[in-house]
Structure 1
């Protein structure tokens, strides 16, 4: 994708990168000029943030599920933490099932970060806070009547009004725990479905964080960065995760930083942030952190927001924050996550971190099924 220009300085008052403190009615106006070029997009959309927020609302809240046919390509690929979808019709079916199971859920946009343009295509990272009540029989079982709230981040590649690739990281474990359900039951069922299809977790035995007897690569690969803020973000993330230099948290986070994490964790201060990240590594102590994409925007609240999509690979060799996984099993784990950072005066004041512990528990269950098969 192209480097991100300063999208917010224009005469049309673009909402781009300015979602957090605006109401939906401001984000989806009925009359407004286009804030930037949107060739090939439906006339209703005034900018790429409007496109993401409004089409999500139209499909999920207004129930116009058929808009998926005009907003996704026929051969779209949707990468989730539990499975991958390879065509548009499967996206339609999945959407119907989710709406039937949780009809009262409302997905509220927190922010949309992005880069690109209408000629080369856009890349968006959409943080959603979903709240609702478990009122119907569905994939969460018989209705419990309990309320829930969880976070999801969806990254999309969009060209001429159609999404052709999407990565969705939904914190399903947060919902299951709030509904008072046993995550082992859901993980076992999901793993059995994968196992019956002949799918197995592929353990390649290494992740190349360490090459032979050498120490980790000390310099971060910043080739995916589009600007200085993104480059610096990739550098300190590499230092923290791959070089195990967790003291970087104290340097790069403001004293009043807030952390918004999995299972709706809300914590304050650099010490709490450090603990969350160190404890994740505690569960997967040989993990390698691999950023896949990064984008950023200046924001109306001041400062800059940065979105990083990442993968972490390693083995379940220790104890840490992934408490639902139980005792260390030694099995391979792949964590797919997306994180949004808000910088002010050069330091992080907010971090929204989303990954799904249920998908990791499912990987453990699948690995155990495969082990039992080969005994």
Structure 2
């Protein structure tokens, strides 16, 4: 399936005046963040846009623009590479776009984390946007925030403790999946339809393969099945800029996330597949890991806190197997949930002392 064939699923009005959905996403992102055309956010987002994050839900344009101004002042040289845009049609005038960005910036202005440090940070993030009638109506945002704090030399546990007191990350919506939360409900068959809506009847085989990968390797703990789903030279790019190569190291990255949450179960909540001549076949997956902090004390003293981890994986396929995975989730959100639960929790620093 070529990129031109996938464009046949959409009316040109879905991404006009750009050539295709990838140009639509990268073009207006640059206009807002590189050219600082903040007012154009009003043109690109619906007035009642829903933004889902690992910390709760935001509705409407005021918060989107206000937060963007603050971030631009704190990190005026913020740059980023458009690593990839994996898009798929959602009807003839809508599409889902999973936009992966490699970010870097120097902290020269005041920000949520305090006064300027003069230090530079690097991370990856994904904006998973539902575009309908040429505007973004819903967005799921996942960032590797631990990498930011690590780069700035700021204790992530201090920041997570502050979020535990003030952020909606620990509200009932995130704990129980109420209302429009990113964690609400259960997806019956993500191959057919996910949180972004019904999928086109194509790439079902590749999509089903990815769902089986999560079920067998992650949920059934058949870690040896990594060799069945991945190429021998598979690469995993994960949080805190970790990079692992080959089957055995890929297996360790899977187990490293499960070890603190040994009862964890992953649910696939959205899938988008795109194929292009330059980048081949890629699959974007929004997933949710539910578990309790009852295993390895990676994030301080174990306290059996219930944890919801919203994450995203971008897979690159070669010869029907996974050749690369970009796996992103927000550890600060995880730590905040653990801290809020209390029950004897102590930070790794406190334990060490």
Could you say which TM-score interval applies, normalised by the shorter chain? 0.7 to 0.9
Name the Cα RMSD after superposition.
2.7
Which residue of 5, 8, 24 corresponds with 2:3? 8
Partner of 1:154: 127
- Name the TM-score, length of structure 1 as normaliser: 0.80
Q: Distance in 2 between matches of 1:337 and 1:178?
A: 21
One of 338, 342, 345 as aligned partner of 2:319:
345
Q: Distance in 1 between matches of 2:96 and 2:144?
A: 22
How far did residue 117 of structure 1 move?
5.6
Q: Equivalents in 2 of 1:201, 1:163: separation in Å? A: 23
Distance across 1 between alignment mates of 2:120 and 2:30: 21
Q: Displacement of 1:192 after TM fit?
A: 1.1
Gaps of 5+ in 2: 177-188, 194-198, 346-353
Structure 1: segments with no counterpart, 5+ residues: 1-5, 17-33, 205-219
Q: Name 1:207's counterpart in structure 2.
A: none
Q: Deviations over 1:116-173 (max 9, x none)?
A: 1673411110000001211212112122211111000110100122101100001110
**2:247 is the alignment partner of 1:270:** yes
Work out whether residues 114 and 124 of structure 1, in 8 Å CA contact, stay in contact via their aligned partners in 2: yes
Please report how far the alpha carbon of residue 264 of structure 1 lies from its aligned counterpart in structure 2 after TM superposition. Answer: 0.7
1:272, 1:233 → 2: CA distance?
A: 19
Query: How far, CA to CA, are the matches of 2:173 and 2:291 in structure 1?
Result: 12
In 2, Cα distance between equivalents of 1:35 and 1:62: 32
- Of 255, 258, 282, the match for 1:305: 282
Structure with more of its chain in helix, by fraction: 2
Aligned pairs (5 A) from 1:59-78: 59-78=32-51
Distance change >3 Å, CA 118–CA 228, structure 1 → 2: closer
Kept after mapping to 1: 8 A contact 2:313/2:325: yes
TM-score, normalized by length of structure 2?
Answer: 0.85
- Cα–Cα, structure 1 residues 167 and 202, in superposed 2: closer, same or farther, change >3 Å? closer
1:128 match: secondary structure? strand
Q: How far did 1:200 drift?
A: 4.7
Larger radius of gyration: 1
Matching of residue 287 in structure 1 with residue 264 in structure 2: yes
Paired with 1:316 and 1:90, the residues of 2 have a C-alpha distance of 32
Residues 36/200 of structure 1: CA separation in 2 closer, same or farther (3 Å cut): closer
Following superposition, the deviation at residue 84 of structure 1 comes to: 1.5
Equivalent residue pairs, number: 326
Aligned match of 2:304: 330
Q: 1:165-188: CA deviations, max 9, x gaps? A: 100001110010121110111111
Q: Does 1:37 align with 2:11?
A: yes
Q: 1:104·1:132 contact (CA, 8 Å) conserved in 2? A: yes
Partner of 2:273: 296
